[in-house]
A and B are shown apart, each in its own frame.
Chain A
Amino acid sequence: MTVSASGLPPFQRFLDAERDVVWRFLVSAVGGAEAEDCFQETFIAALRAYPRLRPGSNVRAWVLTIAHRKALDAHRARARRALPVADATIADRGGSSPSAQDEALANDAPLWQAVVQLPARQRSAVVLRYVADLPHRDIAAAIGCSEQAARRSLHEGLTKLRKVVEV
């Protein structure tokens, strides 16, 4: 979705069009427990800035830029609490009994723990590419770097993750 010269679409239409991709990005970047707060903060920040968007803007890359920053904030807050990521994942599940959902989580858990431990730019590049399905140009716009740097971050991130999958 790009902004046409005839004006911005109503915010609700923008939210309808972008909510799924932002949700998937945030669940993968920060986990289900923190995705809700990040989602709300992302779209409230977007709502405040929305009328200043220029015609021709790539709104998906724009809102994912905001989501990327909110995800970084969440990671920093988690680091300040000094809560190991593995513990946070277990805390997410609370005391519920094991289920198929937990099993799916367990199967992919090592991979997603590795994703969370990637440096911020590599993590966002990987998640934006595969979970949000963004082209390299939009990944670069969302994380605020050149397209070449985005490709490099993606490659470096994948190289590290491949080692996890190969174990």
Chain B
Amino acid sequence: MSRRTTSKQHQLELALRRGRPCTRGEDLDDAHTPPAAKHGRTGGRAPAGDRPAGDAAAAAARRLTGRIAAEGLADVSYAPVDSPFGTLLLAATKRGLVRVAFPEESVDATLQRLAARVSPRIVEASGPLDAARRELDEYFDGRRRRFDLPLDWTLVGPFGRRVLGVTSEIPYGGVLSYSEVAAEAGSPRGSRAAGNALGSNPIPIVVPCHRVLRSGGALGGYGGGLDRKRFLLELEGAL
């Protein structure tokens, strides 16, 4: 191959790697950026994977997930939600709220577990979590005393389902002991097992496992940390 042919080949490959100039994707999201700045082509080659292509792809992906959520094509939607505890991760299925994760919990681990236990068709979309976000805001403001959200118990086993069902009935401002919850769940000698089920409650705050204390009135345990348990009980006027 002659030197000239090699050079032509190289020139062609460079032009191909630049990719085809995009005439629409970017314009949808940042119409005010001058096209030259968007493409960065005035100084020569813009490599594949440059920022403009990434921005356009990110914008297209956001429109996609919005559509997936609006058309009900995802099995699980999730969204971050601000709270006095920091950013909570909420996840919902078509049946209802399936997960509330505290800020220290790894987002990746939480999503991976949902993928394995519920469905891998998971997208980030705030729309399906709007009601839950609003009710949590009202609750933390002291303007809501009970949640009216449908719940999905897929992440809970049969015993845990009974324990958390009893727990859901404890009214705002009230408390029960571990042994009382165990007895009402049909296992009078199962207070330790009930404690474990409460400790792995996948929908804390909304399913009020913070309202279950030791028989003597000591706080016991809490998956989100005892400071938060105390905060919630004080918010509700139970302490």
Q: Which residues in A have some Cβ–Cβ distance to B below 8 Å?
A: 6-13, 15-16, 19-20, 22-24, 27-28, 31-33, 35-36, 39-40, 43-44, 47-48, 50-51, 92-93, 99-102, 104-105, 108, 111-112, 115, 126-127, 130-133, 158, 161-162, 165-166
The yes or no answer to B111 lying at the interface (CB within 8 A) is yes
| Residue among B16, B20, B28, B54 with most chain A CB within 10 A | B20
The answer on a CB contact under 8 Å between B21 and A101 is yes
Out of B9, B57, B68, B112, name the residue touching A158 (CB < 8 Å). Answer: B9
The answer on a CB contact under 8 Å between A39 and B64 is yes
The answer on a CB contact under 8 Å between B57 and A19 is yes
What are some 9 contacts across the A-B interface (CB < 8 A)? A9-B112, A9-B115, A10-B112, A32-B24, A99-B36, A100-B35, A108-B15, A111-B16, A112-B21
Which residues of chain B come closer than 8 Å to A44, judged between CB atoms? 64, 67-68, 73
Q: Which residues in B have some Cβ–Cβ distance to A below 8 Å?
A: 8-9, 11-13, 15-25, 28, 34-36, 38-39, 41-42, 48-49, 53-54, 56-58, 60-61, 63-65, 67-68, 73-74, 76, 78, 108, 111-112, 114-116, 119-124
| Residue among B8, B25, B57, B68 with most chain A CB within 10 A | B57
Which residues of chain B come closer than 8 Å to A47, judged between CB atoms? 68, 73-74, 121, 123
The answer on a CB contact under 8 Å between B25 and A23 is yes
Tell me, rounded to whole Å, the shortest Cβ–Cβ distance linking A132 to chain B: 8
Tell me, rounded to whole Å, the shortest Cβ–Cβ distance linking A56 to chain B: 15
- Give CA–CA (A13, B128) in the complex, Å: 19
- Give CA–CA (A10, B77) in the complex, Å: 11
Which residues of chain B come closer than 8 Å to A111, judged between CB atoms? 12, 15-16
Which residues of chain A come closer than 8 Å to B36, judged between CB atoms? 99-101
The answer on a CB contact under 8 Å between B39 and A8 is no
Q: A10-B111, A20-B49 are in contact. Are A108 and B12 (CB under 8 A)?
A: no
Out of B24, B48, B114, name the residue touching A36 (CB < 8 Å). Answer: B24
Which residues of chain A come closer than 8 Å to B39, judged between CB atoms? 100-101, 104
Which residues of chain A come closer than 8 Å to B115, judged between CB atoms? 7-10
Out of B16, B49, B60, B116, name the residue touching A39 (CB < 8 Å). Answer: B60
Q: A10-B112, A165-B11 are in contact. Are A31 and B23 (CB under 8 A)?
A: yes
> Which residue from chain B places its CB closest to the CB of A106 in the assembled complex?
B21
> Which residue from chain B places its CB closest to the CB of A157 in the assembled complex?
B16
Which residues of chain B come closer than 8 Å to A112, judged between CB atoms? 20-21
